[in-house]
């Protein structure tokens, strides 16, 4: 039959000697085993953080947003910083699952499931901030355009903040559907090999009665492709719209047209860093080093150095335009209040973490070093948090009226709220890592015979063959 050939110059995507059954064993196995001590410790820490976050939010709702250290000059502080940071992190998951699917990048199969899960959890965390920032949160549904008894008085469709409501909720819904439709066949795999009654029952419900019928696979492929096609412009639109929250205002430092591409690149940059952080730990603990290989880590580090450099160019463009435009307010915002002034320290943390440090990934040796990658991924996440902090707070704290100039540092409920979203994120991720197939089993099987190590080794003899003979042997079957 047809020869599944891929050049041996390309690294294998699945290491070791594998067949289809072994793939199932390796990936579904951890679901069936008892979780280790580390899992319980991690989960307890996450739940504690979540509870502390819930308490901080309760405090804020009970006493009002006044318990946050926002003032009339700095109206957006940690809350919106965290919102933009979390949304940005989500973007890498969609990039891997959708954009790389359209570009036919085989390596996405090893990491897409976990990355998409990360997207969903990150967007859940992000959504908390604008909602609880409303203060009178019981009126949060006022953002929805529903017929009401106040006229009906509708929402303002001209407002980027309302666009955000639509963008984030659509993004969450579509990501969830995409992720879950991909999970159905894998849940069926868990169901059909389940030994315990409870597992059969629960995975039976979750798999929706999937059988693996050829017609269903055909529709499933079509669905995945179209959802990928829809998610690609969607993910670009989401951070574009988030950047409109700033770019459509008249605040010096926000009012710039490069914001949409600059934000999208930054989002992918921070998202890939978070994927690295999570997967380096996950592959180690679940023993999935043969599926999430050094090659995968290398590929993601290349994306990090690319997007990090795009972000760097954006920073420099901002500085250049602030001077070249000849607008005094722009110049002051960038050179006097951002790169200098009381908040200048945050600008340099941002520059070092986002622009300077990722440049080490031009070296192949460092890209393929797990410890270096792990440390870098944390540095990039810190840097990207500071980018949002710099954009938001250092543009606000010195406005047009010097008498209202102020400084901003967070109060404990703001910090607690942020820690709480970490709790939410990691609680979800721990449950995901234990009860869900962390790698897309069916997708790995579909690339196994082209990109698995033991199958690639069989291709060596074909590569040494004479071209004429090879064509004769393979072409007409």
Partner 1 sequence: MAVKKFVVGSFDDEAVLFPAVKKVRAAGYRIHDVYTPFPVHGLDHALGLRETSLHTAGFIYGITGTTTALSFMSWIFTTDWPLNIGGKPHFPLPAFIPITFELTVLFSAVGMVMTFMYLCQMAPFVKKHIFHPRQTDDLFVMAIELTEKTRAEEVKAFLDSVGAKEINEQTAETGWWLGRWDREDKLFSKPAEPVNA
Instruction: Give yes or no for residue 454 binding partner 1 (CB under 8 A).
Output: no
By the rule CB under 8 A, 222 interacts with partner 1? yes
- Residues paired with 14 in a beta bridge: 452
- Asked whether the beta carbons of 353 and 386 are under 8 A apart, the reply is yes
> Is residue 230 at the binding interface for partner 1, with CB under 8 A as the rule?
yes
Binding status of residue 227 toward partner 1 by CB under 8 A: yes
Nearer to partner 1, 311 or 442 (CB): 442
CA distances (Å), 41 to each of 14, 32, 45, 47, 347, in order?
30, 19, 6, 10, 36
181 binds partner 1 (CB under 8 A): yes
Find the shortest distance in angstroms from Cβ 252 to partner 1: 20
259 binds partner 1 (CB under 8 A): no
Q: What is the dihedral of CA 449, 450, 452, 457, to 10 degrees?
A: 100
What is the biggest distance separating any 2 CA atoms in the chain, rounded to whole angstroms?
A: 84
Q: How far is the CB of 254 from partner 1 (least distance, A)?
A: 18
**Minimum CB–partner distance for residue 229 and partner 1 (Å):** 9
Whole-number minimum distance, CB 384 to partner 1, in Å?
A: 24
* Contact residues for 34 (Cβ-Cβ < 8 A; gap 6+): none
**Cα(179)–Cα(37) distance, rounded to whole angstroms?**
28
Cis before residue 425, ω within 30 degrees of 0? no
Residue span 114-153 as binding mask against partner 1, x where in contact by CB under 8 A, dash where not: -------------------------------x-----xxx
Of 45, 134, 184, 321, the one binding partner 1 (CB under 8 A) is 184
Q: Which stretch binds partner 1 (CB under 8 A): 116-124, 158-166, 338-346, 350-358?
A: 158-166
d(CA 231, CA 91): 10
Residue 158 interacting with partner 1 (CB under 8 A): yes
Judged by CB under 8 A, the residue of 30, 90, 185, 420 near partner 1 is 185
Please identify, among the stretches 19-27, 260-268, 412-420, 429-437, the one whose residues bind partner 1 according to the rule CB under 8 A. 19-27
Nearest distance in Å: CB 156, partner 1: 6
Nearer to partner 1, 203 or 417 (CB): 203
Among 58, 154, 362, 405, binds partner 1 (CB under 8 A): 154
Which tokens sit at 193? 């090999």
Among 167, 278, 288, 391, binds partner 1 (CB under 8 A): 167
Residue 436 within binding range of partner 1, rule CB under 8 A:
no
- 457 φ, ψ (degrees, to nearest 5): -60, -30
What is the nearest approach in angstroms of partner 1 to the Cβ of residue 128?
A: 20
From residue 474, how far is each of 5, 40, 455, 468 by CA, in Å?
Answer: 11, 53, 17, 10
Here the tokens at position 240 are 């574009």
Determine if 244 is a binding residue for partner 1 (CB under 8 A). Answer: yes
Other Cβ atoms closer than 10 A to 300:
25
Q: Note whether 459 binds partner 1 by CB under 8 A.
A: no
- Give ∠ CA 95-101-106 in degrees, rounded to 5: 110
Q: What is the CA radius of gyration of the chain?
A: 24
User: Contact with partner 1 (CB under 8 A): which of 57, 100, 234, 390?
Assistant: 234
Using an 8 Å Cβ cutoff, are 341 and 302 in contact? no
CA angle 130–134–139, rounded 5-degree value: 115
Q: How far apart are CA 28 and CA 8, in angstroms?
A: 29
464 burial type by CB count under 10 A (0-12 exposed, 13-18 middle, 19+ buried): exposed
In the list 105, 218, 249, 404, the residue contacting partner 1 (rule: CB under 8 A) is 218
Q: How far apart are alpha carbons 74 and 60 in whole angstroms?
A: 17
Closer of 46 and 189 to partner 1 (Cβ): 189
Q: Does 198 bind partner 1 (CB under 8 A)?
A: yes
Q: Which is nearer to partner 1, 226 or 340 (CB)?
A: 226
Residue 457: left if φ>0, alpha if ψ -120 to 50, beta else—which one?
Answer: alpha
- Can residue 226 be called a binding residue for partner 1 (CB under 8 A)? yes
- Which C-beta is closer to partner 1: that of 8 or that of 446? 446
Q: Which CB sits closer to partner 1, 111 or 174?
A: 174
Q: Which stretch binds partner 1 (CB under 8 A): 74-82, 165-173, 400-408, 423-431?
A: 165-173
The answer to whether residues 131 and 421 touch, using CB atoms and an 8 Å cutoff, is: no
**Segment 260 to 299, residues that bind partner 1, using CB under 8 A:** none
Q: Applying CB under 8 A, does 206 fall inside the site for partner 1?
A: yes
**Could you list the residues that contact partner 1 (CB under 8 A)?**
1-2, 19-21, 24, 145, 151-154, 156-158, 160, 162-163, 166-167, 170, 173-174, 177-178, 181, 184-185, 188-189, 191-193, 197-198, 200-201, 203-206, 208-223, 225-227, 230, 233-234, 237, 241, 244, 442-443, 445-446
């Amino acid at each position: 039959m047809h020869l599944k050939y891929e050049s041996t110059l390309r690294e294998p995507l699945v290491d070791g000697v594998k067949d289809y059954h072994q793939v199932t064993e390796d990936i579904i196995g951890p679901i069936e085993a008892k979780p280790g001590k580390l899992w319980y410790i991690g989960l307890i820490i996450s739940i504690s953080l979540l509870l502390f976050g819930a308490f901080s939010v309760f405090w804020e709702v009970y006493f009002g947003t006044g318990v946050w250290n926002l003032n009339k000059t700095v109206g957006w502080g940690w809350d919106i910083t965290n919102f933009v940071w979390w949304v940005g992190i989500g973007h890498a998951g969609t990039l891997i699952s959708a954009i790389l699917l359209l570009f036919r990048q085989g390596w996405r199969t090893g990491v897409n499931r976990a990355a998409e899960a990360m997207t969903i959890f990150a967007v859940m965390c992000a959504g908390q901030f604008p909602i609880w920032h409303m203060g009178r949160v019981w009126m949060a549904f006022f953002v929805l355009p529903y017929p009401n008894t106040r006229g009906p008085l509708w929402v303002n469709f001209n407002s980027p903040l309302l666009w955000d409501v639509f963008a984030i909720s659509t993004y969450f819904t579509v990501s969830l559907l995409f992720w879950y439709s991909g999970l159905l066949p894998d849940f069926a795999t868990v169901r059909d090999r389940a030994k315990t009654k409870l597992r059969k029952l629960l995975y039976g419900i979750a798999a929706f009665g999937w059988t693996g019928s050829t017609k269903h696979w055909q529709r499933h492929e079509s669905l995945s492709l179209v959802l990928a096609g829809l998610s690609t412009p969607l993910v670009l639109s989401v951070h574009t719209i988030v950047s409109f929250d700033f770019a459509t205002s008249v605040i010096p430092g926000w009012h710039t047209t490069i914001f949409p591409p600059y934000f999208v690149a930054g989002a992918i940059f921070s998202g890939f860093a978070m994927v690295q952080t999570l997967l380096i730990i996950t592959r180690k603990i679940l023993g999935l080093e043969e599926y999430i290989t050094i090659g995968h880590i290398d590929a993601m580090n290349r994306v990090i150095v690319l997007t990090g450099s795009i972000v760097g160019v954006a920073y420099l463009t901002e500085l250049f335009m602030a001077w070249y435009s000849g607008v005094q307010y722009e110049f002051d915002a960038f050179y006097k209040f951002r790169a200098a002034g009381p908040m200048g320290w945050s600008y340099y943390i941002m520059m070092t973490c986002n622009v300077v440090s990722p440049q080490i990934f031009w070296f192949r040796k460092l890209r393929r070093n797990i410890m270096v990658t792990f440390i870098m991924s944390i540095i990039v996440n810190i840097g990207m948090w500071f980018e949002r902090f710099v954009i938001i707070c250092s543009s606000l704290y010195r406005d047009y009226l010097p008498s209202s100039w102020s400084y901003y540092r967070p109060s404990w409920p703001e910090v607690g709220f942020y820690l709480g979203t970490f709790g939410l994120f990691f609680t979800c991720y721990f449950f995901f890592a234990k009860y869900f197939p962390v790698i897309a089993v069916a997708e790995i099987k579909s690339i196994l015979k082209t990109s698995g190590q033991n199958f690639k080794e069989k291709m060596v003899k074909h590569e040494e063959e004479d071209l004429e003979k090879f064509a004769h042997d393979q072409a007409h079957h």
